[in-house]
Structures are given as structure tokens and as C-alpha cells.
Structure 1
Amino acid sequence: MSMIVIGGVYAPQAQAAPLLTQGSTGGDVWDLQFRLSTLGYYQMPLDGVYGSHTASAVSRFQKDYGLTPDGVAGSATWRSLKKYTLNQQEMDMMARVIYSEARGEPYTGQVAVGAVVMNRIQSEQFPDSIRDVVFQPGAFTAVDDGQYWLTPDRTAYQAAYDAVRGWDPTGEALYYFNPVTATSKWIWTRPQTLQIGRHIFAK
């Protein structure tokens, strides 16, 4: 079992979703539809019913991500979905990171912080879930000082969606820092990609 954070409390979450096919129903299907909707593959109401529209959306996702386009959400499809998408609770976590780390930054800079989170999830150098990325010791100042628990605004959620949809203004950066306040000498050794607002992004 892995854990998710809900309101500051760790709660158990199943590690792998079950095999889903046409006719499946329930919360796992709703989760699947939400992830596909975020990426623009599923454009119908989220209803928790694995019908033909869901199967078609799964097939398109599979084709674009190099999977067998059979319209069945099996283990390989779920692995890819969890690497490139977030569920609703994870989207809340992303918005919290963006708001606490980058509120007041230009919108592109807020998306960029979200892109760094997604890049870390997809990188072999970091954990493969947003919870583990966000709560990795020392990874985010806002987690260490408690600002992470502030309530995100609508802009932070929009930036989260844009980052999950694949907008990466950073050039695949894995780090960012404020050059005025950074105390780590190591961070200056990372290859820098660009600066947006007050943050320098680096690989």
C-alpha cells in the first residue's frame, strides 16, 4: 500500500488499479476518466461507467503513448497514466505546491513550477508519485515552512492543469531556485535553462 495526504492526514491508497474494460463501473473508472479528461482525451461527463467513449479515449491515449491501443486499462496503461497524469487528489497537491512556491510569480512561472514537479515524477532520479516527490525531505521550501498547507487559488489550479497537460516552459528542468535567497552552493552547479520571474530553472 502507498499513502496519500488528505488534509494533513496520511491515508492508504491501493498501489495498482484493477483491470478495467467496457462494462466496468465505480471509482476506478471515475479516476481513469478524470485523468483522460485532464489530457483532453475524454470529453464526456465523468460518470464512473466504462462505456464506448471511455474505451475510445483509452485507445487514443494508448496510441499516443506507445501502448497497444486495445481500449483496455490494464497495468501498462495505468503505469503510463500515473506517470503523465494526476488524479483529482493529486491535482490538489500540485495546486498547493504551485501556490505556496510561486504565488505572485508570472503565470508562466507558476506553470513552470508545476512542470518541474511533473518532470521529477517522470525522471528516474526522483520518486514516481507526486506525494513522494513533494514530501521528499528538503525538496520544497514551502513544505518545510508549512506554506504548502495554504489554500490554493484558481490560478494555481489552472497552472496545475496546464503543467499536467504537458506545458513545460522550463526546458525539462528538474530544479528551480531563487538566486536572491538560495543558500545551497550545489544548486548553482546545475545546468541552468532559463529564468522566469524570480526563479532560475535548472537540470
Structure 2
Amino acid sequence: MRLCKSTLGGLILLLATGVTSHADVTTSQSNAPVSRISGLLSLEHSALANVPKATRKSTEKGSSQVSYDRVWLADQPAVSGGQEWACLAKALYFEARGETVKGQFAVAEVILNRVDSGAYPNSVCAVVNQGSGRRNACQFSFTCDGKDDRIREADAYDAAGKIAQVMLSGAPRKLTQGATHFHTTQVRPRWAHRFPRTAQIGAHLFYRQPL
């Protein structure tokens, strides 16, 4: 049990004046004030040494300490995960691998913002694959562009996987201000003029769906 300074100070004062819970009881030498004070200090130090460090919120480095650069990302351990992780990593690879690390994190935010929104499916895989079975209805172009979806750039996929893991572990979403949509600067979808733009990161413009 950790003793606060005021409690410990009170004990020292009581012991130094010879006051105990039974003042008329003669204490043995082993319970003399000096010995007891030393024992209490020892217990205090032991307790402090055993107090666990603050629990980290998500990744080994701590989700609140995300740095959007390649050096930081390269320092993160290689990961693999379940279906949700695989769907997010794949989406980042095909939709944003040519972007900066920051840009890829931003795309991950969009996908997870959709998962949290009642207007979209409630899982990463369902969000990524929404509309993929209907012509011109897919939400993410790689799911219906007819191209081969094999992973050919191992390093890029490794980076996407790390970003997916960090985001799924609870990293803060502070890049896109709640964006649910994005597009490249080379296109201008019909909905873009109706949605408030929240950010531009690299070649992507980000928007939040109106309430």
C-alpha cells in the first residue's frame, strides 16, 4: 500500500513522540521508533518500485505518440492480424500507398469514421467492400476496378499493415476532422460541392458528410 507524504509524516511524528495506539504498552526494541521509521520508509520505497507504469492505450509506442513519418513507422514492429486488419491494410495499400505516411493515416481515418457512423456498415471489411457487387456503386475503387488485387510491393504493404494496426489499436484521429469521404485532386465527384471540406493531404481532399 502506498503511503502519501502526509500520512507518512504523521506516522513519523507519532512514533518520534512515543505515541502508539496503546500508550501504556511498553514496546520491545524491535518496535522502537527508529526501527519502525526505517521499516516504513523501506515499505514505502518498495511500494513505489512496484507501482505499474501507466497503461498504454494501444500500440507498444503508445497511440497518443503517433508520428506521421517514415522513420517512426519503420521503427514499429511488423504485424499481422485478423480479417478487419487485413481489410484495412489492403484498402490502404490499394487506395493510398503512393501517399505519404500522413496521407495513409488520413485514409484510415475515413474508413474508421465510417465504421463508427450509423450511415455505413459497422465493420471495416463491410465499409471497404460496400457496393463492390454493383456497377459504379463501390465506395473504394479498387474493389470494382477489375484489376488484379495481388500485393506486388511488399514494403508498401508492410507499411500499410503497420498503419492499420496502429489505427485499429485506438490511435487518435486528428488529421481529417471526422471526414467520411475523400477523392484525389484529379477528379471532382458530384457530392464534393455539397460536403464541407475538412482537409487536403497530399493528392487527397477530405470531406465530412453533412448531418
1:157 partnered with 2:176:
no
Structure 2 residue corresponding to 1:121, chosen from 103, 115, 123: 115
Distance in 2 of aligned mates of 1:187 and 1:91: 29
Determine helix, strand or coil for the equivalent of 1:39: coil
Q: Secondary structure at the match of 1:201?
A: strand
Task: Call closer, same or farther: CA 1:148–1:95 in 2, change over 3 Å.
Answer: farther
Higher strand share: 1
Does the CA contact (< 8 Å) of 1:98 and 1:114 recur in 2? Answer: yes
Q: What is the CA–CA distance in structure 2 between the aligned matches of 1:136 and 1:106, rounded to whole Å?
A: 25
Aligned to 2:194: 189
| Aligned residues between the structures | 122
Instruction: Give the SS at the match of 2:171.
Output: coil
Are the aligned partners of 1:92 and 1:157 in contact in 2 as well (CA < 8 Å)?
A: yes
Equivalent positions of 1:13-162 (< 5 A) are 39-40=58-59, 88-137=82-131, 138-146=138-146, 149-151=149-151, 153-162=157-166
TM-score by length of 1: 0.54
Greater relative contact order (CA < 8 Å, ≥ 6 in sequence): 2
**Which structure 2 segments of 5+ residues have no match?**
1-55, 61-80, 132-137
Larger radius of gyration: 2
Distance 1:96 1:162, change over 3 A: same
Q: Which amino acid aligns with 2:190?
A: K
Aligned to 2:74: none
Change in Cα spacing, 1:38 to 1:129, as seen in structure 2 (3 Å) is farther
Cα pair 1:100 1:150 within 8 Å, conserved: no
TM-score (normalizing by structure 2): 0.52
| Identity %, equivalent residues | 31
The answer on whether the counterparts of 1:96 and 1:150 sit within 8 Å (CA) in structure 2 is no
